[in-house]
Amino acid sequence: MTDSKAAFVLGTRPEIIKLAPVIKACQRRNVSTLVIHTGQHYSESLDEIFFSQLELDPPDVNLGVGSGSHGQQTSEMVLGIEEQLMDATPDVLFVQGDTNSTLAGALAACKLDNIDVAHIEAGLRSYDRNMPEERNRIIVDHAVDRLYPPTEETAALLRDEGIPGDRITVTGNTIVDAVEMYDETAASTSSTLTRLSVDKGEFDLLTAHRAENVDDRDRFANILFGVAAAARHRNNEVIYPVHPRAADRLESFDLAVPDCIRTIDPLDFFDFLRLESTASLVFTDSGGVQEETCILGTPCVTLRNGTERPETAFVGANCIVGHRPDDIVAGARRMESKSGEWEPPFGDGHAAEHILDDVGLEDQHAERRAETATKEAPREL
């Protein structure tokens, strides 16, 4: 028997967080892993901090691609990933989400023989083709062999696009596994509330980093103005950990951040989880943050015109408001009285195990133990 090998392509903060439970599940099953980091994210606060905090081994390979245009970034990644996969010949390659790293992993692997390509968090659609992420999702879902949508609704979207049902398995989202794994530790170890001098329930949290929001000066300014107005109305300060793309734009657009918004550096996962679970309201354009607030029971106001996570709005956890100040204020008013008592729709917290079961990565030692036991069993006379 030869041992199974699982490869992972990741490159950005959310991919590290959402693939961590799957990499760990492989280790529990004694499945050998190859982690290929594209280098799309490279700043310590978007990259290394998550490997150390989530107790992941450093990536086996870092392609060091860095920032660039979509074409440049993606093509360099494809070349590097293909070379690694041809050398290592894994049985399965996992990609997650909708970034350029996800796209490059799927493109590099889908024409190589004997590698099953599996997309975790398949089937999400915002129906906004101006988002690079939407194009990535569609291409990836139609290129891969196995699709792991988080919910029945996302699976139905894939079938509606003509993808055969036998390639699709609903598993829940691995973000539930990650939140369940780390939320208690975050609550007991993070000192972020003290360091920031904020009290539970008496501040708001903001993240805004999407290209369509922060690369447009007026739109970014409107978001800051609207969030500040909504928070002032409730006498709250807003904590805004600023993603490097947004930091870049704040500087180049010379945008003034309203007084009641406190900008800080990006946070590690435990500190961020702590703020998300204790904030009064969360304003965001992030995909992962819409999911996490829904899981943690914190009302969310989404600063986009649509979402590929409509389940969060259906259960009452999220309100989609766009970027106009009046709409942001109205959305915050609608969400401020929410109790947080909704049913999170993203699965049972064992998505990683369901994925490995489906893709056929059994515990390698169990198989070996069974083989040894069969060989050693006394023969009947």
Confirm if 323 and 219 have CB atoms less than 8 A apart: yes
- Residue number with CB closer to ligand UD1 (297 or 306): 306
In angstroms, the CA 226 to CA 223 distance is 5
Pick what 323 binds: ligand UDP, ligand UD1, none; C-beta below 5 to 8 Å, kind-dependent.
Answer: none
Beta-sheet strands, E only, within the chain: 5-10, 32-37, 61-62, 92-96, 116-120, 146-148, 203-207, 237-241, 261-264, 281-284, 300-302, 318-320
209 classed as catalytic: yes
Span of 1-9, 145-153, 263-271, 334-342 interacting with ligand UDP by CB under 6 A: 263-271
- Residue number with CB closer to ligand UD1 (180 or 248): 248
Told to check if 4 binds ligand UDP by CB under 6 A, we report no
Told to check if 17 binds ligand UDP by CB under 6 A, we report yes
Q: What is the greatest pairwise CA distance in the chain?
A: 87
Told to check if 241 binds ligand UDP by CB under 6 A, we report yes
Two tokens, residue 133: 């992420």
Q: From the CB of residue 145, how many other CB atoms can be counted at a distance below 10 Å?
A: 16
Angle (CA) 172 175 179, round 5°? 120
- Residue number with CB closer to ligand UD1 (96 or 236): 96
**Contact positions with ligand UDP (CB under 6 A) in 83-112:** none
Report the residue from 116, 159, 232, 244 that binds ligand UD1 according to the rule CB under 6 A.
244
Told to check if 59 binds ligand UD1 by CB under 6 A, we report no
Two tokens, residue 101: 């790293």
Told to check if 12 binds ligand UD1 by CB under 6 A, we report yes
In angstroms, the CA 148 to CA 153 distance is 12
Q: Which residues contact 226 (CB under 8 A, 6 or more apart)?
A: 303, 323, 324, 325, 326, 327, 328, 329
Question: What string marks each residue from 196 to 225 as x (binds ligand UD1 by CB under 6 A) or -?
Answer: -------------x----------------
- Residue number with CB closer to ligand UDP (275 or 361): 275
Told to check if 245 binds ligand UD1 by CB under 6 A, we report yes
- Residue number with CB closer to ligand UDP (84 or 100): 100
Q: Return the active site residues.
A: 209
Contact footprint for ligand UDP (CB under 6 A): 13-14, 17, 207, 209, 241, 243, 266-267, 269, 272, 286-289, 292
